[in-house]
Amino acid sequence: MSGPDSIGQWKVGVVVAVRAETPSGRSIQLDVPGWGGNLAGQHLDVRLTAPDGYQAVRSYSIASAGSADSVELAVDRLPDGEVSPYLVDDLLPGDELEVRGPLGGWFVWHTDDTRPVQLIGGGSGIVPLMAMLRAHAASGSTARFRLLYSVRTPNDVFFRDEIAALSSPNLEVAFVYTRMAPDGWPREAGRLTAAVLAEATLPASDEPQVFVCGPTGFVESVADWLVTLGHPAASVKTERFGGK
C-alpha cells in the first residue's frame, strides 16, 4: 500500500475505461503510476482544473482494493454538481485525472478479520462496500458477509451483475427498492424502514462489524435504528455524502 509520504501528493491517473452503471452513474477505471494500492473502503480526492485556473476538489470512494496501481471509481451525476457531471458525461479513455490518496483508515475492512460483516448501502453508497465485497472474494475470506442495498429501481443498481456473481454461502445479498420493484418482488417498493432493516440484516447477537454508506439522511436513520436494535454504536461505522 502507499506510504504516508505519498498520500498528500497529487498523482496523474490515466482513464483506462468507463462503463455506464445506471442512467446517471458510471464506473471509471484509472491507471495511476505510483498509487501502490489501497484498503477496501478508502477514498481519494479528485482535482479538476479549468482553463482559467479555477480548481475544484471532491472526495470519492474507491470501488477497488489491493496493491495494484489501478483504481476504480463509481460516480453518480448530481445535477448541481461541479465535478460529477464531468466525470459521468465527459471523461473519456485516455483522459488524465489528478487524484490524491488513498485516504481514510477507519471505514475500512481488513481481509484477515474473520468477524461477521453487515454492509448497508444507499444508492451510490455501494461504492466503498463494493471494494469490501471484492476484497472478501479475492482473499478467499470465510468471514460471513451480508449486504443490504437500497436503491430507487432495479436500473439504479451499481455493479448489478458482479454483485449477483459474488453471492455465495458466505455472502448474502438483499435489496430494498424505494420507487419501483421488479415484477414478482416479495416486498412493495418503499423506503427502508426499521422493521425491514431488522429483518434483512445480521442480528446484534452475532456481533457483526457494520458499515453504512449513503446520503446523509439515510445513514443517520440507519445508524439510529441499528443502535436501537442492540448494535453497539462503536461497531457501526458510517460514511455519508452530499453534493459533488
User: How do residues 7-42 score in pLDDT, each as one tens digit?
Assistant: 689 999 999 999 999 999 999 999 999 999 999 999
Whether 110 maps to a domain, the answer reads: no
Do 97 and 124 sit in the same domain of this protein? no
Residue 4's pLDDT is: 47
Question: Is residue 112, in this structure, part of any structural domain at all?
Answer: no
pTM of the model: 0.94
Q: How confident is the model at residue 80 (pLDDT cuts 50, 70, 90)?
A: confident
Place of cell 448501502: 121
Tell me: do 97 and 123 sit in the same domain.
Answer: no
Largest CA distance in the chain: 57
Domain boundary at 80, 103, 126, which? Answer: 103
Q: Give the domain range for residue 127.
A: 117-241
Give the CATH number, domain containing residue 173: 3.40.50.80
Count Cα neighbours of 115 within 13 Å in the Cβ-side half-sphere: 15
**Confidence at 244, pLDDT banded by 50, 70, 90:** very low
Per the structure, how many domains does the chain have? 2
Q: Give 174's strand partners.
A: 148
